[in-house]
Amino acid sequence: MLIISDEDIEKHVSMREAIDIVEKAFREYAKGFVKMPPRSTIMLERFGGSLSLMPSYLEESGALATKIISIYPKNRKRGYPTTAAWIVVNDPETGVMEALMDATYLTALRTGAVTGVASRCLAPRSPKIAAVVGCGVQGRMQAWAMAEVFNLEKINAFDISRERIECFARELEGTLGIDIHISENCEEAVENADIIATATTSKTPVVRRNWLSKDVHINAIGSFYPDHRELDSEIIKDAKVVVDSREAVLDEAGDLLIPIREGKITRDHIYAELGEILLGIKKGRTNGDKLTVFKSVGLAIQDSSVAKMVIDKMRKR
């Protein structure tokens, strides 16, 4: 059995590889070759956190894994990661455990990767300015993914913590070779952006419709609780909305559930799942599209597919 650390994964798996393997997983999902029960979550109100169990099996890829992930927003003040995760990988033929791996870095990587996949389908042509709202670990991955798939000239960054924004700018200007602009507020960060990524744990909207430029794509990946959202209802109402999974977002995503409860949209407002676009069942961005939104709550297939790739690479080495 392999014991694999976050450091092993960071050393051996690139964002480009993660984007490609996650795209393959979503194609497989859209073709119906995936077994993935809904995420099971225990809310621990006493401690302000949650623990989720995320199993999945990709039949074509032969990837069988289960992720345990904890999300504790108050951990930032305690000096611990807000999100921590672990993955058990099993041999689908025998059920024997093949690997136990840290998955905190993997979770951030695969979440950035799905933004890369969705952005290729939905962003305006040749975007030059990106915005990242929420400059923690996941914000860095969002920036990395967008820079991987587009020739960006500038990334506007905003976070409620000035320290996190400055750390974000120092780290990414060197690694990505892109100008990082520290924005004074969220409106300044997004107002001229061609593509936006929100990576916060906010309960209330951090981006509003009247702040946005005419043609823009938003990747909303931060919140996945029914009472949390990052985008206001007007954004969702006006947008072509693509999701990772209809079932998952209609169970967990406040960005859609709250506008539905308000009567601003219905469940039919969801245009497509990402896999449907990848298979050509539905079109991505077209000439008439102005505002597009990709809403992701995170699927277990992202974890299982990347975990399988990690094991294959480690064994070859």
Mean pLDDT of the chain, nearest integer: 95
What mean pLDDT comes out for the span 90-103? 96
Indicate the pLDDT class of residue 201, thresholds 50, 70 and 90: confident
Cα–Cα dist 70/189, whole Å: 29
Q: Exactly one of 11, 31, 67, 74 is catalytic; which is it?
A: 67
- Please give the CATH topology (third level) of the domain spanning 2-107+301-316: ornithine cyclodeaminase, domain 1 (3.30.1780)
Q: Give the pLDDT score at 316.
A: 86
When the candidates are 3.90.180.10, 1.10.8.420, 3.40.50.720, 3.40.50.1100, the CATH number that belongs to 114-298 is 3.40.50.720
- Gap between the Cα atoms of 250 and 226, Å rounded: 9
Q: What is d(CA 223, CA 161) in angstroms, rounded to the nearest whole number? A: 18
Clarify whether 67 is annotated catalytic.
Answer: yes
How high is the pLDDT of residue 272?
A: 98
Q: What is the DSSP letter of 203?
A: S
**Residue 309 confidence (pLDDT) above 90:** yes
pTM over 0.85: yes
- Dmax of the chain from CA atoms? 55
Task: Please compute the mean of the pLDDT values over residues 197-203 and round it to a whole number.
Answer: 94
Q: Which pLDDT belongs to residue 225? A: 85
Retrieve residue 151's tokens.
């020739």
Mean pLDDT in residue range 80-104 = 94
Listed range (195-199, 206-210, 224-228, 288-292) with the worst mean pLDDT: 224-228
Would the pLDDT of 79 be above 90?
no
Residue 145 C-alpha from the chain's centroid: 10
179 neighbors 153 (Cβ within 8 angstroms): yes
Select the more confidently predicted residue: 150 or 174. Answer: 150
Distance CA 123, CA 112 (A): 15
Confidence of residue 218 (pLDDT cuts 50, 70, 90): very high
Residue 66 has pLDDT above 90, yes or no: yes
- pLDDT of the residue at 25: 98
pLDDT value of position 317: 78
Average pLDDT over residues 109-130: 97
pLDDT at 315: 87
Q: Is the pLDDT of residue 92 over 90?
A: yes
Q: Give pLDDT, residue 244.
A: 97
- Annotate 114-159 with three-state secondary structure: HHHHHHHHHCCCCCCEEEEECCCHHHHHHHHHHHHHCCCCEEEEEC
Average pLDDT over residues 122-142: 95
Could you tell me the two tokens for 215? 């043609």
Measured between alpha carbons, how far is residue 74 from residues 46, 69, 95, 193 in Å?
12, 15, 36, 30
Q: Is pLDDT above 90 for 57?
A: yes
Give the pLDDT band of residue 286 (cuts 50, 70, 90): very high
pLDDT attached to residue 235? 98
State mean pLDDT over 172-201.
Answer: 95
Please provide the DSSP assignment of 281-317 as one string: SS--S-TT--EEEEE----HHHHHHHHHHHHHHHHH-
What are the boundaries of each domain within the chain?
A: 2-107+301-316, 114-298
Instruction: Categorize the per-residue pLDDT at 81 as very low, low, confident or very high, splitting at 50, 70 and 90.
Output: confident
